[in-house]
Amino acid sequence: MTEEPGKKKKVFLSDWELKKMGAAGRAAGSLPENAIISPLSSDWLGSERRTAANPRAPGAGRQGQGGPRAEVALRVKIAEIGRRLYPLGFVPGTDGNISVRLDENTVLITPSGIAKGALTPEDITKMDIGGGLISGKKPSSEYLLHLCFYKNRPDVMAVIHAHPPLATGLASAGMALDRPLTSEIVITLGKVPLAEYATPGTAEVTDSIAGFVKEHNAIMLANHGVVTCGRDLETAFQRMETVEQAAKITLVAEHLGGGRLIPPDKVRKLEEMRRRLGI
């Protein structure tokens, strides 16, 4: 079939490509005449145009971490964190999940069934705080775990769930990381509690961590793994690394007789340092 003379060939633009255009500063009204877009992209463009026309309209400017440009950057950062977790052995196969809060009602999260070491920004799924899919692939089966943090901790902007082997081994043996073995553990993590076993991907998981979420930035999941949170993805990632380091230290101390704990009065000083640092 030949095209009519002078008529341009239709070009499909994905949701991701439109977001990149926004990140590059191209206006929503500057699409080529021959562009074809999806219904999801059409909704997004409509929202962008309404905001541009009336910046004071309800919902305009409510994106907690910026507009389309920030979303692109966060997608890139999620993929980067996945690539950093993978060689550490924290997310073998397709294990683990990573998310970030985009605004008060929207979350970006890794999809189900994709290796975290092979993530691309286009792979990332967008969903609402109620668990509804906005765009992208099927979200991680552990999305309820992530939403539990976002619903209960306004300060939390990122959540990582992984299976660091030594920390997961301790969790499978019924051991929490709640003893003051080193000053760094006390300052950076405080106590890391152990949540009871819950069936992955179900509401049982949120029930098991509900009593810990508000007071702890890292939680061990019995026979399952570890979940950490933070004000950004980098903080959540570093806390995951620190949990595994604490597990290594704990195992060595146990092997050598249990370790000598920091005295209670010294622990209180470290906890005060932690509060002053806002950790």
pLDDT at 65 over 80: no
Mean of pLDDT values over 149-164: 98
pLDDT at 50 over 50: no
Instruction: Categorize the per-residue pLDDT at 21 as very low, low, confident or very high, splitting at 50, 70 and 90.
Output: low
Cβ contacts of 82 within 8 Å, gap of 6 or more:
91, 96, 98, 110, 116, 117, 118, 119
Q: Where in the chain is the domain with CATH 3.40.225.10?
A: 68-277
Pairwise CA distance, residues 33 & 242, whole Å: 52
Cβ contacts of 151 within 8 Å, gap of 6 or more:
129
Per the CB < 8 A criterion, the answer to whether 187 and 279 are in contact is: yes
Instruction: Categorize the per-residue pLDDT at 104 as very low, low, confident or very high, splitting at 50, 70 and 90.
Output: very high
Instruction: Categorize the per-residue pLDDT at 58 as very low, low, confident or very high, splitting at 50, 70 and 90.
Output: very low
Burial pattern 101-139, b for ≥16 Cβ within 10 A else e, equals: bbbebbbbbbbbebbbbebebebbbbbeeeeeebbbeeb
- Higher local confidence (pLDDT), 258 or 108: 108
Supply the pLDDT for residue 259. Answer: 87
Neighbours of 261 (CB within 10 A): 12
pLDDT at 121 over 80: yes
**Residues known to be catalytic:** 142
Amino acid at site 100: V
Average pLDDT across the chain, whole number: 86
Supply the pLDDT for residue 270. Answer: 95
Question: Which CATH architecture describes the domain 68-277?
Answer: 3-Layer(aba) Sandwich (3.40)
Supply the pLDDT for residue 59. Answer: 39
User: Lowest mean pLDDT: which of 5-9, 152-156, 206-210?
Assistant: 5-9
Instruction: Categorize the per-residue pLDDT at 15 as very low, low, confident or very high, splitting at 50, 70 and 90.
Output: low
Radius of gyration for the alpha carbons in the chain, expressed in angstroms and rounded: 22
Mean of pLDDT values over 23-34: 60
Helix residue spans in the chain (DSSP H): 15-23, 39-53, 68-85, 143-152, 165-172, 183-188, 203-209, 233-255, 264-277
- Higher local confidence (pLDDT), 118 or 53: 118
Mean of pLDDT values over 71-92: 97
Residue holding tokens 């380091």? 245
User: Beta 35-37 vs 106-109: how paired, if at all?
Assistant: unpaired
